Amino acid sequence: MAFYKVCLVYLTVLLILPEQGRPQCYSLWPRSSGSISPPCCSTVSTAYISEPFVSCFEQKESTSSSHCRRHAFIFTSVNRRHYCVDAEAKWLSQRFRRLQNRGICCYVQ
- Domains, the chain, in order of start with CATH, read 24-108 (2.40.50.40)
Flag whether pLDDT at 43 surpasses 60.
Answer: yes
Residue 45 is given by DSSP the state B
The better pLDDT of the pair 11, 43 is held by 43
Radius of gyration (C-alpha) of the chain in whole angstroms: 18
Distances (CA, A) of 33 to 5, 29, 53, 55, 105: 45, 9, 19, 14, 15
> What does the mean pLDDT of the chain come to?
74
Q: 16: pLDDT confidence band, cut at 50, 70 and 90?
A: very low
Provide mean pLDDT across the span 13-29: 45
List 82's β-bridge partners, or say none: 76
pLDDT, greater one: 6 or 49: 49
- Whether the Cβ atoms of residue 106 and residue 26 lie closer than 8 Å to each other: yes
Residue with more model confidence, 49 or 13: 49
**All residues at 6 or more sequence positions from 84 whose CB lies less than 8 Å from its CB, including other chains:** 41, 43, 44, 45, 59, 70, 72, 73, 74
Higher pLDDT among residues 68 and 30, named by residue: 68
CA distance 34 to 15: 36
**pLDDT tens digits along 51-72:** 999 988 899 887 776 677 889 9
